[in-house]
Structures are given as structure tokens and as C-alpha cells.
Structure 1
């Protein structure tokens, strides 16, 4: 729910909950950046939606980019680190799996629920990361430091068992992530109003990663 991630954003940015104007500014900025994108959103529009004077925004944030980073950087450092890295690593990589299939199913369900809860801010990341190299560098460092080595061990383990073909780890990671990202983007960004059977879609994604489009014999 919206209130959940807003509460977490407020905590991550150190915003005083008693400062209602700043809370409304953050909430309005998330809404506007998510709906229209950063470049197409003006501070006057944010102020109008927040119900404050435009000058009030600049009391807390020197520029519109500072306001963007007040949202995006906590998403990376507070949400990406605990949820995508720390919690994700604990929930996923500290468990043992008897098959790559079960590992995939756990990963997809975990990230699917994360996306369901935090998609407004994830959408801002998706929109803005290509245009802000510092954000891209931050994400790359998080992935390289916290995720890649753990995923590599999983890949090598199941390659030794004959459950995954002998491909370089980056290729296995790419072939695994692409359908998962496609599912999440289609479900929450491109066609959110469609009637979805989420469990069936997750299962179809698992089977596609494992077997592609070729009928099993």
C-alpha cells in the first residue's frame, strides 16, 4: 500500500513526521515523478499537489534535482540495500535449494512482492537512472558487491549438478533476469489494469527460464 512505502521513505530520508509540509512535498514528488517523469514535472506542479507554496519546496531542497535525489538515493541506499541486497541476500542466498527451479521460484516471488509494494519509487528509478550516471554507478556497485558473487556460487553449484548448462555466469544471470524484469514491468507498468493470475505468470516465467519456448519431450 502507498502508506507503507511512504512511511519507509520518510524514515529513510530522516524527515520529521511532524513536518506535514515536507511529508506532503515528498509524497507529491513521488506521485508526479512517477506519473510524468522528472523532466516533465515542474516544482510548481509539485507544490500545487502538495498544497504548499513553491518557495516552500526550496526551503527543504535547493533544486528539483535535490528533491529527486532525496527520493532516489534513499531508495538505493535504504531500500535497495536492506530489501534488494541485505534482506534479499538473507532470504534467498542463505537458504539451500534442491534445484535451480526452486531457487528461481523463490527469487521471482520475492522480487515480485517487492515490486508490488514499492513500484512508484521503482518506476522513478527506471525512468531516471539512464539519465543520471551517478545513479547507474550506485546500482552497479550494489549489484557487484552484494549480489553477483552469491549468485555465481549458486550457478556453479547447479552447473556441477548438471541442472544448468555450462555458460559463463554473466550469461546465466542475464538469461535469468531478463524474463523476471519483463514480468514485473509488464505487470506493474505496461498493463497494470489487466486481469492477472500472478501465480500462473510467475510459474510460466520459471518454466520459460528453464526451458524456453521449445516444447518439453
Structure 2
């Protein structure tokens, strides 16, 4: 998978022999509806109408609305999001950057296109992970723990080189990730209609992190 690919398209291609056309329509409609309105505010009748199927058709394939949500997120997280993010992160981390700032720039630029091309799915993840223990557990197992392990190696290296202050690695990861995702969420989820100067905002994000982490 490349940054230009859609996870949903890859999923349909992977499951082409296991999904009926109606199931594909249901999943596509559910992703659109969950992304726009959230899981709790979306009814199965709305999904059925958008998919052009009878509501009973949904329940022939999925016992509950929650089963439909999990049938979308679980395989996409396990088969596509996690492997791609981890493999791509390893490529970035395996490049020995001269400083933490160069790493941040490569990381942000690398992730933005991928996020834009899969906006609806990531919106569902951001909205629903806090409210569904199954999704939280899945995210932790497939992404959070593995990403943290690799980040920790880089942080120790940068601290040994005197590039960033001596904070616990989990604090550096939290401060870095929350700032980057703050920019991404604001840019693509909360205020996409604003007149963003993306290169400038990315640079401001990087400098904000670096001013906070640089040794005094």
C-alpha cells in the first residue's frame, strides 16, 4: 500500500471473494454515516437507505449496529492501518536523522497524505475509540505499543546526543503526538473550510514541539 491508496478500496479488493455487492454497499454507507454523524447518532435505517438495501438485509449480515462497526474497523485496523503505519514508521525511524526536528518534519509530511486519503475511517476511529473497549484494546495492541517501542529508541538516541531534554520517553511521545494530531484534527476534521497555509502551519507545529523539548 502507498500513501495514495485508500484503505477502504484495499479492504474491498482484499475481501472481494468474501463480500457480496450488498455488503460492500452497506459497509460504504456505514463508513460515510458513522463518519458524518457518529456511531450513536446513526440508525441502521439511515444506513440501509443510503446503501439502497432493506434494513433487514443489514441484520442478515450483522447482528447489531455494533457488529457492523466492528466488522469495519477490526479488519481494517489489523490488516491495513497497523501494518502500513508500523512499516512506514520503521522506514522513517530507520533513517538516522541528524536531529529530532528533521525526524518530525519527515513524520508529519509522511502522514498527512495518508490521513487525507482515509479521512472518513480515521474520523470514525477518533470518535469511537474512547467509547468502545474493543476498539481501544485493538488500537493499543496493534499500534500504540509498537509505535511507542520504536519511538523510545529514537528518543533515547536524541537525548544522548543532547538534542532534546531528559524527559521520560512516554512524556516526549505524548507531547509530540498530541501536538501533531492537534494540527491534523484541526486541519482536516474541525476546521477544514478555513484558509490554511499548510506549509506554514506544519512548520509552526514543528517549532512549537522543538521549543518545548530543546535543552535550555
TM over 0.5: yes
User: In the alignment, is residue 92 of structure 1 matched against residue 115 of structure 2?
Assistant: no
Tell me the residue number matched to 1:134. Answer: 134
The alpha-carbon distance between structure 1 residues 84 and 15, as it changes in their structure 2 partners (threshold 3 A), is same
Relative to 1, partners in 2 of residues 1:206 and 1:190: Cα closer, same or farther, differing over 3 Å? same
In structure 1, what is the Cα distance between the partners aligned to 2:153 and 2:169? 9
Q: Deviations over 1:127-185 (max 9, x none)?
A: 11111112111212234542112111111111111100111101111111111010010
Compared CA separation, residues 27 and 208, structure 1 to 2 (3 A): same
What is the RMSD computed on CA atoms of the aligned residues?
2.2
Are the equivalent residues in 1 in contact too, given 2:82–2:143 (CA < 8 A)? Answer: no
Tell me if 1:176 matches 2:186.
no
**Aligned structure 1 segments of 4 or more residues deviating by more than 6 angstroms:** none
Unaligned runs of 5+ in 1: 213-217
Q: Is the 8 A contact 2:97 2:103 kept in 1?
A: yes
In structure 2, stretches of 5+ residues that fail to align are none
- Number of residues paired by the alignment? 211
Q: Secondary structure of 1:164's partner?
A: coil
| Distance in 2 of aligned mates of 1:39 and 1:144 | 25
Q: Any residues of structure 2 matched to 1:4-43 within 5 Å, and which? A: 4-11=6-13, 14-16=15-17, 19-43=20-44
What is the TM-score of this pair, normalised by structure 1? 0.89
- With the length of structure 2 as denominator, give the TM-score of the two structures: 0.90
Contact kept in structure 1, 2:4 and 2:113, CA below 8 Å:
no
Shift of 1:6: 2.8
